[in-house]
Structure 1
Amino acid sequence: MTAATTIATGSPPDLDAFREQARAWLREHAPAPSPVTDIEAARAFQAALYDAGFAGITWPQDVGGRGLSTAYQQAFSDEEAEYELPTYPFTIGMGMCGPTVNDLGTPEQRTRYLPRLLRGEDIWCQLFSEPGAGSDVASLQTRAVLDGDSWVVDGQKVWTTNAQWADFGALLARTDPDRPKHSGLTMFVVDMHAPGVTVRPLKDMSGRAPFNEIYFDSVRIPADAVIGEVNGGWHAAVTMLGHERVSIGSRRRPKTNPLDFTAIAALAQRLGVSGEPATRERLAELYARERVLELFNVRLRQEAAAGIAPGARGSVAKLAGSMLARLAVDTVGEIAGPEIVAWDPEDTTGAAVALGINSTPSSSIAGGTNEIQRGIIGERVLGLPKEPSVDKGVPFRELKVGTQK
């Protein structure tokens, strides 16, 4: 029996004691930051995190979580912000796929997949976007056809984060082209090592390859791999997108990140401009926005723990997080001046800032563009009139989408 299981079956620990335990454990076990992801080291750290009782803090106990309140998760998040932990490969699984399987999966799926995810044994990716279906996910053309006791999948996905490491993916595919585009979709668990799955990296302007394009060539998926209901994939997709937007919006940079408020304030002090009125004003705005977003996400997590789904408000968190990232880049650019493009080659901070600047534009695209988020907020949160839908009720095969006729 692991330490996590032992702790989970007892009474909730004192919050202050829990925070001190987390602080002490991280001080002893958090590894030094590394520019290269060592996937086996990441798996080992996730396993250690689980054994110590700090993985799946709010997840149900029957799948290996601790079943604690969001206050405990917030306490651990506060402490881990002091470090740059090697948990990036698990962000999609922990923040998006795992919660969706927990919400919609069968008891067998929950017990099969979720404990392994928490222990770092499996890495997950999300397989939604396609070359012709980005923001309009419902227009996807990847097909899944039932053949005996399995589904056969053919198609392509793109912009898939962490697919180069993934063991499993949450795949959205079209299972009935005679239905309208939103109602003929199904979500599956797909083995990323199955025959017919090809993963190819895509480099972004930072020089890294965080994204991938995936090809499915007659990939067979067992019938029991459906998440939710056959042809009920849009509901599953909306559920996952809700988790995704909260996850992206609530993701905190470690304080060592050069685009975190603490690091930017230290940079202003080092350059001798921290006392200038314009700098103080920008730093105050950045701090206020960081704090407001943090408190908003605490509220969403508390409500989720009480059984209240974030729904469209997840788009508020996602949009605010994207805008905060842009503000951080603008602020550090104004403070650093020419150093932003001409740093000392031995200055790792300058290189990290440049990487952050090149990576930040993706925050306004990943998980749905800022424009899409504003539309969702306007219609579903503020109750503004919806945009007209010209394809509502039309069978997908009758729509002129890509090669579909």
Structure 2
Amino acid sequence: MSHEDVPPPARPGRDAYFDNAKYLTIVLVVCGHAWEPLTYGSRTVTAVYLTVYAFHMPAFALISGYFSRSFDMAPGRLRRLLTGVVVPYLVFETAYTLFYRWAQDDPGYPLSLLDPWYVMWFLVALFVWRMTTPVWLALRHPVPIALGLAVLAAVSPELGGDLALQRVLGFLPFFVVGLTLRPEHFERVRSRGARLLALPVGAGALAVAYGVAPWFDAGWLYHRGSVTGQGAPAWAGLLTTPALFALALLLTACFLAWVPRRHRWFTTLGAGTMYGYLLHGFLIKSSRFWNWYDRPWLHTPLGELAVTAAAVTVMTLLCTSPVRAVFRYVVEPRMDWAFVRPPRSGARAAERPADRAAPAPPA
């Protein structure tokens, strides 16, 4: 029996398509991190790296926005936000700091909850985006306003790095786009015509990335700072931010067009992407701290394939049920003791379907 013949499991509230999308996107995240040291000696790897970085985090932000449409500051959803985003941020930001102190023998390295370290910026962004969701849903034209804020961030070098605001605002438009989407939009992007069109578009993007690989700075895709940090005048952000936004949306649509609709062997792993996201940073940083990439064979085509296979395998394992069982107490803690007991009312019952439908926030 082929995978296409396997019916989706009876799991109320979960959509195999989105779990597949989350898993495949988190795999691209870890591959991008694993490829980065290889880009210095390979134009091909650089081209693939640039192509992936042009859309993989925008895709995650968009999916996060789509599943945040019901966020309305209700007590149950606020509790989920605190236990599923704030608590993991506090735990892992502390853990990463202690890890850095140990690995680099730097006991004085500061712990700063206002300066997210490495992958932790996304949890800050997710918290800010979710808390502002009612505002975006109340606006008549939320996407242009969110894009305007992203442009202002791109042209504002004085914004600083507190709470990763550059990135929070830089990726905000994709989250807001997700808030505006409906199921029919995904049906259109999954049509046969859309899938066929995605092939030449994706191939074209890869070809362009290969052409610009020798001189294009991937920092443009990180949204870590203003455009002046890339050596461009501030006014350039007025053009580059909308252009990169349009490119990311186009490539995200191409990616979503080819995400499998039905249950596959990796579908259930889509519920564990937050675990993979938070944990893989320790391995990626270990590879930098202890110079794992100093082996020359890793910089050959066979070595590059080996790095890719290792990245996919590691991320797959980190999303599995055993890993989730071990780390659930810090990634998805219940913390009933910290909250007042909710009233037994129809309002509470009304919250439950939406809360079940929304998967754990993707990375």
- TM-score norm. by structure 1 comes to 0.23
Specify which structure has the higher proportion of helix: 2
Structure having greater relative contact order (Cα 8 Å, sep ≥ 6):
2
Q: TM-score, normalised by structure 2?
A: 0.25
* Structure holding more strand per residue: 1
